[in-house]
Amino acid sequence: MKTTQITWVLRIIASVILLQTLYFKFTGAPESVYVFSALGAEPYGRIGSGIAELIVVILILIPKTTWLGALGGVGVMTGAVLSHLFVLGIEVENDGGLLFALALITLLCCLILLYLNRNIIINLLKTK
């Protein structure tokens, strides 16, 4: 499989996971309200993280901004993973750890996308 194909697979996996959670965040689904209430960030944290995730998805899907979306995705998903580890627990409302697993998968996809786009990032960081 070529790097371009791998990149698109990673983009799609991360984007689908992030997009499917938006429905729950924006409609105020009980699971989402529970999570953000436990974090002390309901409703603003729920809506704010949903907006951030939507921006991340758009950036990931545009080839020239994939690195920026992946960087945002790493930030958002690091927050999600840490929330699970220190506040929520691995299993939330008897989900069998599904939310935690999805956060880890998305984080991994974004980290790999960052690695695959490392030359772009390095060139941006070089001073002339």
The whole model's pTM is what?
0.94
User: What are the distances in angstroms from CA 103 to CA 52, 82, 120?
Assistant: 15, 10, 25
- Taking only the tens place, the pLDDT of each residue in 69-127 is 999 999 999 999 999 999 999 999 999 999 999 999 999 999 999 999 999 999 988 87
Per-residue pLDDT tens over the stretch 12-67 = 999 999 999 999 999 999 999 999 999 999 999 999 999 999 999 999 999 999 99
Instruction: Enumerate the H helices of 28-117 as residue ranges.
Output: 30-38, 44-61, 66-83, 98-116
